[in-house]
Each structure stands twice: as structure tokens, then as C-alpha cells.
């Protein structure tokens, strides 16, 4: 029988809790969010506390931790001000630029310019898409919910338009090998897909 290490989250510091969460919940998909300020400055930043919320209507969420001084990150400020953002899928060819887009730069500068990524016009929202990735979701803000004593915001967006490069599709499904997505690990770690395993449900239908 394993002798587990035991932790009560109320008795360890915040960083230790963070290390346990981000080391066990892996690999995490990365929500690469593009926004635009009221002044017209574009912003691009990755968030790995990201997931699907709902299918009807299609909704996704990003947890956007506050800055150390308690202020809101540019992504959240812009999304709240304009009510819009775009999710961009992170794939292997752009993973280093994705990491670079997390660097802190002045609010009046754009990560698109800083990384050399291409801003593409969207169909239904103002924020641009990342031109180098095969999938983008245009979103309108549905809600912002704050959690915990530090009021960490959960940004919930409704997808109002999907963009999918047909080169990453097979038989109507997004093909993982063609997509080559990047996941977030703990520390400074990122991952690509390894062996992909398949097993059908009893009814034979894919999920």
C-alpha cells in the first residue's frame, strides 16, 4: 500500500497549492486569447486554466489570475470593456511565440507586434485572430465570475463564430495528429501529443 504524502490546503502556502494543482491537472489545453482595447490596441496572452463550459450555446471559459498587485490583466480589462475576445488554438509551429506572448509589455503595445504574429480580421467581433493557427473561436463575453479572497476572475464567453482550417479535419472531425496541439504542464513545461489511444463506447458512437 502506498504511503501518500498528505496535504491540507488550508495549512500550506498558496504556491504549494498551485504546484499541486498544476502538476496533477495535466496536460492542460491553452486558451490563447486575443482582445482589443477601447483605444484600439490589440492584446494576445495564453491561459492554461481553460475549458469548454457548454455546447448549446457553445461556451468556453478562461481563469485569468490577477497581477501581483491585484490589478486586472490586459486580457480581462479589454474583454470586460468591449465584451469580446477570440480563442486561438496553440499548435506546435507557434508554441514558442505563444510563450513569448506571455511576456509583460506596456499596455499601449501589442503582442502581435512583439511576436511578429499576423492579426487576421474576425467576422463578428472586433479582436483579431492569430493568422498562424488553424482554429479560432470568436467569442462574446457571457459572464465574469470572481472566486476566492483574491477575486480570481473566470471569464465565460459564448462562441459566436468558428474558424477551422480544413487541412486539420478528417471525416468531419478535427484530426489530432494533423492539428498537433500543445498542452501545458507544470513549471516551464509544455507537451505535444504522444501515442493516441482509441476505445469505443458500448454504443459504438464516438464522443
Place of cell 468591449: 82
Domain contains 129:
yes
For the chain, give the percent of residues with pLDDT over 90: 93
Q: Can you tell me the mean pLDDT for 131-151?
A: 96
DSSP letters spanning 19-71 = HHHHHHS-SEE-EEEEEE-TTS-EEEEEESSEEEEETTTTEEEEE-PPPTTSP
Mean pLDDT estimate for the chain: 96
Domain contains 201:
no
Domain contains 10:
no
Lowest mean pLDDT among 42-46, 156-160, 193-197: 193-197
Which CATH number do you get for residue 73?
Answer: 2.30.110.10
pLDDT of residue 2: 87
Q: Can you tell me the mean pLDDT for 25-42?
A: 97
Domain contains 112:
yes
Domain contains 96:
yes
Band (30; pLDDT cuts 50, 70, 90): very high
pLDDT of residue 131: 98
Torsion of CA 180, 158, 102, 131, to 10 degrees: 50
Domain contains 5:
no
Domain contains 13:
no
Residue 170: domain span: 27-191
Q: How many domains does the chain have?
A: 1
pTM given for the model: 0.94
Phi–psi pair at 152, nearest 5 degrees: -70, 125
Amino acid at each position: 500500500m502506498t504511503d501518500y504524502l498528505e496535504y491540507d490546503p488550508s495549512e500550506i502556502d498558496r504556491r504549494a497549492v498551485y504546484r499541486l494543482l498544476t502538476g496533477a491537472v495535466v496536460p492542460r489545453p491553452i486558451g490563447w486569447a486575443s482582445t482589443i482595447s477601447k483605444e484600439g490596441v490589440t492584446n494576445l496572452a495564453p491561459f492554461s486554466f481553460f475549458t469548454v463550459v457548454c455546447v448549446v450555446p457553445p461556451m468556453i471559459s478562461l481563469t485569468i489570475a490577477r497581477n501581483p498587485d491585484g490589478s486586472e490583466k490586459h486580457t480581462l480589462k479589454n474583454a470586460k470593456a468591449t465584451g469580446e475576445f477570440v480563442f486561438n488554438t496553440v499548435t506546435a509551429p507557434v508554441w514558442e511565440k505563444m510563450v513569448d506572448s506571455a511576456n509583460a509589455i506596456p499596455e499601449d503595445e501589442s503582442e502581435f507586434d512583439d511576436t511578429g504574429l499576423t492579426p487576421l480580421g474576425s467576422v463578428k467581433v472586433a479582436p483579431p485572430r492569430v493568422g498562424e493557427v488553424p482554429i479560432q473561436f470568436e467569442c462574446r463575453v457571457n459572464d465574469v465570475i470572481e472566486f476566492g479572497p483574491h477575486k480570481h476572475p473566470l471569464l465565460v464567453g459564448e462562441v459566436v463564430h468558428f474558424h477551422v482550417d480544413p487541412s486539420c479535419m478528417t471525416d468531419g472531425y478535427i484530426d489530432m495528429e494533423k492539428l498537433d496541439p500543445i498542452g501545458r504542464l507544470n513549471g516551464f513545461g509544455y507537451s505535444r501529443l504522444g501515442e493516441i489511444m482509441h476505445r469505443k463506447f458500448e454504443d459504438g458512437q464516438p464522443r
